[in-house]
Amino acid sequence: MEPIGFFLKGGPVGCLLIHGFTGSPLEMRGLGDFLQEKGLTVSIPLLAGHGATPEDLNRVRWQGWVAQVEDALAELRGQCETVFVAGLSLGSLLTLHLAAQHADIRGIAIYSPATRVANRFFWLLPVARYLVKQWPKESEERDDLNLQANSRVWHYDSYPTSGANELRKFQQVVRRELGRVRVPAIVFYSTGDKMIHPEAGPCTFEKLGSADKELVTLHNSGHNLVVDSERESIFARTYGFIVSHLG
């Protein structure tokens, strides 16, 4: 399938789904189809710099991603009475940022929060971006624990360095905003995730300002939770979270 954005028309409850860094809306399509079948309207935008060539990601700024999801949220609000937001990895940062700015979002679902990453050289990106344009992903970063998961995704096989530095800068912004997030939240992370820091899930959960929040720990998935072996339970728990917060 082509890496394009999707708008899946449903009922008056909407959900904005945001994909991860170097990924595409395809990785969120399974969840989107599931929610649409339950009667929701679903928006899955293609983030700038994604869906074409890795070099495109070296020409974007994090503020551009924010502007895109703000527009997508406004469009969804124009058609739905109630809106939820959910995001994976980079999408989790954008979800948290939206929640910090918009207290009327009904709830958020966070998958593999990228508030801290496992790569110990991440802090070198401000300098490295002048020396290296991109670096290849390791095999464990390209493949989820469930090998069939690769048929459900489209992503770049390398990390554009300047684009990754924009993620790093945005990560710092979002970490400072966690206490301002007050909307209901459910956070999913896996102990098998090699991309984010092992404490990223628990720390993100702990620092959220939300009084109504839930942490879900998985053990049989890689970084891309929504396409891996536990995806069906994640879909069900996400929908259950939405239903329980419709008021």
Tell me which residues are annotated as active site. 89, 193, 223
Nearest to 234 by CA among 122, 129, 112, 54: 112
Question: How many angstroms separate the first and last alpha carbons of the chain?
Answer: 37
Q: Give the CA count within 13 Å in the CB-facing half-sphere of 236.
A: 4
The 10 Å Cβ neighbour count of residue 30 is 17
Pairing of strands 6-8, 41-44: antiparallel
Which residues, at least 6 apart from 218, have a Cβ–Cβ distance to it below 8 Å?
188, 189, 190, 191, 192, 225, 230, 234
Indicate the burial class of 118 (C-beta count within 10 angstroms; 0-12, 13-18, 19 or more): middle
> What is the rounded CA–CA span in Å between residue 83 and residue 242?
9
